[in-house]
């Protein structure tokens, strides 16, 4: 080792040459197949299948990588996460693009939970026992919040990403930021203070929902959201709280106490704010359905009214025709009825003896003299009666032309029946059915290809 170190002295090298030389030096046998005991921090498995993390103790930390081939053979891979303590075996190498040394892990033997993981589990059990994580305590997120309160760092990308997502989804939304530290000493107290401030009377723009969170990091970076002070503030909030800490795989105690847990801050923004265009689409659909629901009874009522007027006019026309026919028949029969008694009386007079006939003729001279007058009065009465009936018939015909079906037909309405004359509705029509449609100017015979009711059109 010392000889190799001295061989580098006095040589001018580029950064890449130096890094490669150092890599060959560190890659010597003394730094191969080493085993390191420590606690996992920042465990991440990427789409490539490689895992990147650190192994730490109270005094130092070591960057590590475990490639997909080695991870797939690791029997303990499903239990590996932040806080797990173990023995990590592999080779020390330098990664030239970053100039950092790292342990390329070949094998992992878990040795139990580290200090932070044990502390996490102990506090989780304590708070769960107090009921802080009970589902019954969870409050629903408002459907459309007017004001969203955000408790996070003002300098990170988190607030920018959330604001971008929320304003893209619903431009009218108002966002109020309470700036806090999200890691380090005093961060948990600031987070708790922000949540309590939004719930206080001193908050001029009280939000409808609160998002508390930060971006990803190691278990140490996220630890403020595992502190009892922050967790209790989330659980005590009268305003619904969405916890949005780290990535999908990160879990904190604030996640359990919150009303909703979001995998990332951007997901929290999507959960919190509905899509305005989708709301407008649903509103338009509901308006169409409402208009159709209101229009259907009116159209049905109008059609029923037209049908009633059609039947009424037909009945009135038939009744008037029958009365007129009876009246004309009576008028035709009346002269014959009047002549029959006179003929009979004349025949009786002619058959009577002469003296009796003279007496009868003398007695009938007065009534006979009045007979032309009576016939004239009868004829005048019949004529006046017929004129009155004709006027009534004309008035009824006028009303019929206004209220009858022909008027409705001229306004664009029609009446559809089956071949037997029975009224047909849209829901009665079947493909292949023969129908007769009466409208202005005549009738149309057709066959049904398909039908659609007003309700299905609105849906």
Taking the domains of the chain in order of start, what are their residue ranges?
A: 2-113, 120-274, 292-365+379-405, 414-459
Q: What is the pLDDT of residues 163-201, one digit of tens each?
A: 999 999 988 899 999 999 999 899 999 999 999 999 999
Predicted TM-score (pTM) of the model is: 0.49
CA angle 304, 310, 314 (to 5 degrees): 150
pLDDT band at 228 (very low <50, low <70, confident <90, very high): very high
pLDDT of 352 higher than 70: no
pLDDT of 343 higher than 80: no
Q: What is the pLDDT of residues 359-407, one digit of tens each?
A: 666 665 555 566 677 777 777 777 787 778 778 777 777 766 666 666 6
Which CATH number is correct for 120-274, 3.40.50.261, 3.40.50.920, 1.20.1200.10, 3.40.1350.10?
3.40.50.261
Tell me what the pLDDT averaged over the chain comes to: 82
CA distance 65 to 48: 12
What is the average per-residue pLDDT within 42-56?
93
What is the average per-residue pLDDT within 3-28?
68
CA distance 213 to 265: 7
Q: Which CATH class is domain 2-113?
A: mainly beta
pLDDT of 99 higher than 50: yes
CA distance 129 to 246: 26
């Amino acid at each position: 080792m010392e000889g190799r170190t001295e061989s580098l002295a006095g040589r001018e090298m580029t950064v890449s040459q130096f890094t490669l030389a150092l890599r060959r030096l560190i890659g010597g046998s003394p730094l191969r197949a080493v085993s390191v005991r420590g606690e996992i921090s920042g465990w991440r498995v990427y789409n490539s299948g490689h895992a990147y993390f650190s192994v730490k103790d109270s005094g130092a930390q070591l960057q590590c990588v475990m490639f997909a081939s080695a991870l797939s053979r690791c029997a303990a891979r499903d239990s590996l996460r932040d806080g797990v303590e173990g023995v990590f075996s592999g080779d020390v190498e330098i990664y030239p693009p970053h100039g950092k040394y790292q342990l390329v892990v070949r094998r992992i033997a878990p040795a139990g939970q580290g200090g932070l993981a044990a502390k996490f589990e102990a506090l989780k059990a304590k708070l769960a026992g107090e009921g802080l994580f009970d589902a019954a305590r969870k409050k629903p997120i408002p459907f459309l919040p007017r004001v969203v309160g955000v408790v996070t760092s003002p300098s990170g990308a988190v607030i920018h990403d959330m604001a971008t997502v929320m304003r893209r989804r619903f431009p009218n939304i108002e966002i109020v930021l309470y700036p806090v530290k999200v890691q380090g000493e005093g961060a948990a107290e600031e987070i708790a203070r922000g949540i309590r401030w939004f719930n206080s009377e001193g908050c001029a723009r009280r939000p409808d929902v609160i998002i508390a969170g930060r971006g990803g990091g190691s278990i140490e970076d996220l630890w403020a959201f595992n502190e009892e002070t922050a967790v209790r503030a989330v659980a005590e909030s009268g305003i619904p709280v969405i916890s949005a800490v780290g990535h999908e795989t990160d879990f904190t105690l604030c996640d359990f106490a919150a009303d909703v847990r979001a995998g990332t801050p951007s997901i929290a923004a999507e959960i919190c704010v509905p899509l305005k265009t989708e709301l407008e689409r649903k509103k338009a659909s509901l308006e169409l359905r409402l208009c159709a629901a209101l229009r259907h009874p009116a159209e049905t009522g109008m059609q029923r009214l037209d049908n009633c007027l059609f039947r009424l006019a037909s009945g009135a026309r038939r009744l008037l025709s029958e009365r007129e026919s009876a009246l004309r028949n009576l008028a035709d029969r009346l002269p014959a009825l009047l002549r029959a008694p006179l003929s009979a009386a004349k025949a009786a007079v002619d058959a009577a003896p002469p003296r009796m006939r003279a007496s009868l003729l003398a007695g009938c001279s007065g009534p006979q003299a009045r007979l032309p007058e009576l016939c004239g009065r009868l004829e005048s009465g019949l004529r006046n009666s017929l004129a009155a009936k004709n006027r009534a018939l004309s008035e009824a015909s006028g009303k019929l032309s206004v209220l009858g079906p022909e008027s409705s037909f001229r306004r664009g309405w029609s009446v559809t029946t089956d071949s037997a004359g029975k009224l047909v509705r849209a829901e009665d029509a079947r493909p292949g059915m023969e129908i007769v449609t009466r409208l202005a100017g005549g009738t149309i015979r057709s066959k049904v290809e398909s039908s659609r009711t007003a309700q299905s059109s609105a849906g």
